[in-house]
């Protein structure tokens, strides 16, 4: 799993040492400012569209379409940047290899494999561009649509070079990586034997993913290999990626990601921490309660528990220790609280699930309100009990300090509430809401509070956001290609039939689902898990008469729990790195929180009114399970 970039690693979208330092500096500044310009256009267009629609009762021609195409551009530019810094979403299993020649060899193999698949994707994208050029489709304003598509083969071709070059610091390793790339591309010459290449090719790709190749590389490679083996053009994969442009909710993903990075890099965490202390510092177990509240709020607006642990861990951990909380409990609390808040508006994983599963983001946020509050309350209650038991100090309530803290954090507090009300009441779309959120974050952190200098810090912050956007959008696109193949081959239908033949009870199905998602959530990054698993599980849940919204919340809550599940839960790894603690100790101190949250997830799973009761929808028709043979 890819950890968030540090300031030193992600401060600029740099190119590897392929070019001389002067050209290298120029190129990475071009990439940085390209990301800034695109983010600004994506922010201003939906806001202007919303205002014009309200005032003049008409929209801006092409505003929605151009915003979607800007998502395509920021996605592929961000993917190119993520390649330069090794920030693509991947499994952590490759890190288990010992240092030495074995790991170096694995890195070269992964580099060559990744470069080869990217080069094949670039070729497939070029075929798509050629087909679109012949169609002569125009965007509003007369711009040929294929011009926008050119970013796909261009970025993927450069990504292939970067992957191969980064495989080793030595020329021998780089030559081997490029040789592997060439061998993979040469497989396209054996069309008469395409079917026989599927199994050995699949094994080679799976080995690469286990050794650390990005998840998108594995999914794209498998999709192209399966299409190739069945005689279908591999251009089907980038075609599915491009079809993402038609998703009305997709632009919300880069907008919310950028807003989260801006808030995390600014002073929002300090202001929210001060407000939480002023509000609840007088309560029993006040400091633990405050940590839960502030971590929940911060995870909600930034969209990632890793950002919360890295941004707030150094602030709240010393405060817990200074107020007599046991070190083990404090470490476990910060680790577990980092994953709370993922079900609340405007959480990015909820938006992503809505895009993948084709559900309403509005309904999903409403369905997640009570389950999210339950998980927060359970962890907070445990923190209060420990605080009372250890007789931790409280501070007297100070109304004036509360007023000052509330005024200082007024933007961070009111903006999400106001924007949610606008979104919930249908006054703004999800993309317009996300663009307003980013606009508020930019203005407050850079202009009002001046936590981020508009020229020295803000561009690099947006560039780091672009890296995560690129990793997610590219993964989402190639996953759609693989999903299309599976649907064409009726794999989901066969999976549903097999499941119904062996599992007859919806309750047992949900229990098995909980266990599977818990394990997968510990090894898959949440974005990868949503993109890979949601399209397969959604039809299975409907077959058992389970409401799709209920499935979505159970799905996300289990992945939230998986952050704490050994051996490779993301929060465990990040806390181990942040606090310089061995993983075995993190397993021990996080266990009580894991059990408490697991109880909450089971309650949410088997009390569906907690999700469906918040949304007025008709229940899906139930398909009767097939009886097992006598």
CA 26/CA 22 separation, integer angstroms: 6
**Distances in whole angstroms, Cα of residue 11 to Cα of each of 94, 291, 474:** 25, 29, 22
Task: Please indicate, yes or no, whether residues 236 and 269 belong to a single structural domain of this protein.
Answer: no
How far apart are the two ends of the chain, measured CA to CA in Å? 45
Are residues 238 and 261 both part of a single domain?
A: no
Task: Give the C-alpha separation, 474 to 625, whole Å.
Answer: 36
Domain boundary among 452, 480, 505: 452
Q: Measure Cα distances from 382 to 213, 315, 330, 470, 593 in Å.
A: 40, 21, 12, 38, 8
Largest CA distance in the chain: 79
Do 306 and 168 have their domain in common?
Answer: no
What is the per-residue pLDDT for 242?
87
Q: 526-543 and 458-488 helices cross at what angle (nearest 10)?
A: 30
- pLDDT, residue 569, reads 75
Domain count, the chain: 2
The answer to the question of residue 297 being in a domain is yes
Q: Which of 220, 81, 224, 212 is nearest to 159 (CA)?
A: 81
Residue 129's pLDDT is: 93
DSSP letters spanning 242-285: HHGGG-SSTTHHHHHHHHHHHHHHTTHHHHHHHHHHHHHTTSTT
**How many residues are given for the chain?**
630
Say what the pLDDT of residue 376 is.
92
Distance between CA atoms of 388 and 368, rounded to whole angstroms? 30
Query: Are 298 and 270 within 8 A, CB to CB?
Result: no
3-state SS assignment for residue 140: coil
Model pLDDT, residue 148: 92
390-405 pLDDT per residue, tens: 887 777 888 898 899 9
Residues paired with 106 in a beta bridge: none
Confidence at residue 306, expressed as pLDDT on a 0 to 100 scale: 59
Domain boundary among 452, 484, 500: 452
Does residue 128 sit within a domain?
A: yes
Whether 549 contacts 116, CB under 8 Å:
no
> For residue 152, what are its two tokens?
């796909």
Identify the pLDDT of residue 195.
78
Q: Are 236 and 274 within one domain?
A: no
Distance from C-alpha of 493 to C-alpha of 441, rounded to nearest angstrom: 44
Place of tokens 């993927």: 156
Question: Among 419, 452, 485, where does a domain finish?
Answer: 452
In a domain, 529, yes or no: no
**Residue 386 in domain:** yes
The residues, ordered by sequence, that sit 6+ positions from 626 with a Cβ below 8 Å of its Cβ are 497, 500, 501
Can you give the pTM of this predicted structure?
Answer: 0.74
Which pLDDT score is estimated for 577? 64
Same domain, 223 and 299: no
- HSE-up (13 A, CA, CB side) for residue 321: 11
Per-residue pLDDT of 536-556, as tens digits, reads 788 888 888 888 899 999 999
User: Do 61 and 192 belong together in one domain?
Assistant: yes
Number of Cβ within a 10 Å radius of residue 114 = 34
User: Do residues 36 and 148 both lie within one domain?
Assistant: yes
Helices (H), 136-248: 145-149, 151-165, 171-186, 198-210, 215-229, 236-243
One domain for residues 161 and 282: no
Q: Which residues of the chain have pLDDT under 70?
A: 1-24, 91-96, 189, 302-307, 310-311, 314, 492, 523-525, 567-568, 574, 577, 616-630
301 touches 263 (CB < 8 A):
yes
Residue 408 lies in a domain: yes
312 in Cβ contact with 298 (< 8 Å) = yes
What is the helix (H) or strand (E) element at residue 96, kind and residue range? none
599 in any annotated domain: no
CA dist., res. 337 & res. 472, Å (int): 24
On whether residue 569 sits in a domain, the answer given is: no
- The string over 429-439, giving b where at least 16 C-beta atoms fall within 10 Å of a residue's C-beta and e elsewhere, is bbbbbbbbbbb
Contacts of 460 (CB under 8 A, 6+ apart): 7, 10, 11, 12, 32
Residue 144, phi then psi, degrees to nearest 5: -60, 135
Could you tell me the residue range of the domain that residue 313 belongs to? Answer: 252-452
Domain identity same for 262 and 174: no
- Angle, CA 135 vertex, CA 130 and CA 139 arms, to 5°: 100
242 and 203 in a common domain: yes
Q: Alpha carbon of 218 to those of 255, 426, 475, 575: distances in Å?
A: 27, 39, 10, 28
Regarding whether 340 and 435 lie in a shared domain, the answer is: yes
- Is residue 123 a part of any domain in this protein? yes
> Are 235 and 285 found together in one domain?
no
No. of helices (H) and no. of strands (E), the chain:
29, 0
């Amino acid at each position: 799993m890819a950890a968030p970039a540090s300031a030193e690693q992600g401060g600029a979208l740099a190119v590897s040492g392929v070019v001389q330092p002067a050209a290298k500096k120029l190129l990475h500044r071009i990439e940085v400012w390209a990301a800034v310009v695109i983010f600004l256009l994506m922010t201003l267009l939906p806001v202007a569209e919303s205002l014009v629609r309200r005032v003049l009762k008409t929209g801006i021609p092409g505003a929605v379409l151009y915003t979607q195409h800007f998502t395509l551009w920021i996605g592929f530019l961000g993917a190119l940047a993520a390649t330069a810094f090794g920030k693509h979403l991947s499994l952590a299993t490759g890190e288990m290899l010992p240092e030495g020649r074995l790991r170096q060899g694995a890195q070269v193999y992964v580099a060559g494999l990744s470069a080869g698949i990217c080069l094949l994707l670039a070729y497939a994208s070029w075929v798509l561009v050629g087909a679109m050029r012949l169609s002569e489709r125009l965007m509003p304003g007369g711009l040929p649509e294929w011009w926008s598509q050119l970013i796909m083969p261009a970025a993927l071709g450069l990504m292939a070079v970067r992957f191969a070059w980064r495989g080793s610091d030595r020329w021998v390793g780089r030559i081997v990586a490029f040789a592997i790339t060439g061998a993979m591309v040469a497989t396209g010459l054996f069309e008469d034997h395409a079917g026989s290449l599927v199994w050995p090719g699949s094994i080679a790709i799976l080995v690469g993913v286990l050794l650390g190749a990005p998840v998108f590389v594995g999914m794209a490679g498998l999709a192209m290999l399966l299409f190739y083996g069945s005689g279908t053009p591999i251009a089907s994969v980038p075609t599915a990626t491009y079809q993402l442009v038609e998703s009305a909710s997709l632009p919300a993903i880069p907008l919310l990601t950028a807003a989260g990075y801006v808030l995390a890099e600014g002073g929002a965490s300090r202001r929210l921490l001060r407000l939480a202390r002023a509000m609840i510092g007088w309560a029993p177990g006040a400091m633990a309660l405050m940590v839960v509240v502030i971590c929940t709020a911060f995870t909600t607006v930034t969209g990632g528990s890793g950002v919360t642990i890295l941004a707030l861990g150094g602030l709240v951990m010393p405060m817990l220790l200074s107020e007599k909380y046991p070190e083990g409990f404090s470490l476990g609390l910060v680790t577990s609280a980092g994953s709370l808040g993922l079900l609340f508006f405007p959480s990015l994983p909820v938006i992503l699930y809505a895009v993948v599963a084709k559900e309403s983001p509005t309904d999903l946020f409403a369905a997640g309100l009570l389950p999210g509050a339950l998980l927060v309350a359970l962890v907070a209650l445990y923190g209060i009990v420990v605080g009372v038991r250890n007789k931790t100090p409280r501070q007297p309530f100070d109304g004036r300090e509360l007023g000052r803290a509330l005024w200082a954090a007024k933007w961070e507090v009111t903006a999400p509430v106001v924007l949610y009300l606008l979104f919930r009441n249908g006054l703004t779309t999800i993309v317009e809401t996300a663009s307003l959120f980013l606009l508020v974050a930019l203005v407050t952190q850079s202009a009002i509070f001046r936590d981020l200098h508009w020229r020295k810090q803000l561009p690099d912050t947006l560039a780091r956001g672009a890296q995560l956007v690129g990793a997610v959008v590219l993964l989402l696109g190639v996953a759609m290609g693989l999903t299309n193949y599976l649907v064409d081959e009726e794999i989901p239908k066969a999976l549903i039939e097999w499941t119904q033949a062996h599992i007859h009870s919806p309750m047992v199905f949900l229990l098995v689902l909980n266990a599977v998602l818990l394990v997968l959530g510990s090894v898959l990054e949440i974005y990868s898990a949503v993109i890979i698993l949601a399209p397969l599980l959604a039809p299975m849940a409907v077959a058992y008469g389970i409401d799709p919204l209920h499935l979505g919340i159970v799905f996300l809550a289990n992945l939230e729990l998986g952050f704490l599940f050994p051996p490779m839960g993301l929060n465990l790894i990040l806390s181990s790195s942040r606090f310089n603690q061995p993983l075995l100790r993190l397993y021990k101190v996080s266990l009580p929180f894991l059990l408490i949250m697991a109880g909450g997830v089971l309650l949410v799973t088997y009390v569906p009114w907690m999700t469906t009761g918040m949304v007025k929808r008709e229940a899906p028709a139930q398909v009767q399970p097939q009886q097992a043979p006598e």
